[in-house]
Amino acid sequence: MKLDPKLDLVLERVVDVAPELVWACWTQPEHLMKWFCPAPWSVSDCEIDLRPGGIFRTVMRSPEGVEFPNVGCYLEVVANERLVWTDALLPGYRPSPDPFFTGILTIQPYEAGTRYVATAVHRDEETRKKHADMGFHDGWGKALDQLVALAKTIG
């Protein structure tokens, strides 16, 4: 996929944990719930059916206790390499009434760790700007730090 800087946001980093641990943190609800939102936010519930068309649902909880459900489906699942999901489609590829972005995660072995690339693909510049203004880079970066810390405890 060719990136479009007017529509896409990218977080790229090399982390010092194995791709298999990054994958486990992304694909097992009991792990994902511990890192997916930058603290003090949290995930109160998560459902994963790890297959194309399968559900990817999280419920994010604000520090004030307000919950924000997010429901989408997986488009592509390549174990320990690539995960693509979207909220433009609901489970079973049903159209969503309120799409926001499609996420693409690629992980590759790199030296003693993993090259981690998370891309958020948006339908228009306004939606991309909204996501950037919400703190995409800081939030996704902090969440990745939390993922790495967790991965070191499960590996």
The pLDDT, as a whole number, for residue 112 is 92
Q: E strands of 1-155, at which residues? A: 8-15, 42-48, 55-61, 67-78, 82-86, 89-90, 94-95, 102-110, 113-121
**3-state secondary structure at position 115:** strand
In a domain, 13, yes or no: yes
Q: Which residue has the tokens 């070191």?
A: 152
Q: Is residue 119 part of a domain?
A: yes
pLDDT at residue 109 in the model: 97
**pLDDT for the residue 99:** 94
pTM for the predicted model, two decimal places? 0.95
The parent domain of residue 141 ranges over 8-154
Instruction: Tell me the sheet residues that pair with 84.
Output: 76, 104
Is 2 a member of any domain?
Answer: no
In a domain, 109, yes or no: yes
Decide if 41 is inside a domain: yes
Task: Give the model's pLDDT for residue 1.
Answer: 80
Region of 89 on the Ramachandran plot (φ > 0 left; ψ -120 to 50 alpha; else beta): beta
CA distance 43 to 37: 7
Average pLDDT for consecutive 10-residue bins of the chain (155 residues)?
94 98 98 97 98 98 97 98 98 95 98 97 96 96 98 92
Q: How far apart are CA 132 and CA 149, in angstroms?
A: 25
Look at the chain and report how many structural domains it folds into.
1
Q: Contact, 96 vs 75, CB < 8 A?
A: no
- What is the model's pLDDT at position 78? 98
Q: Does a structural domain hold residue 82? A: yes
- The answer to whether position 56 is within a domain reads yes
The answer to whether position 150 is within a domain reads yes
Assign residue 120 the CATH number of its domain. 3.30.530.20
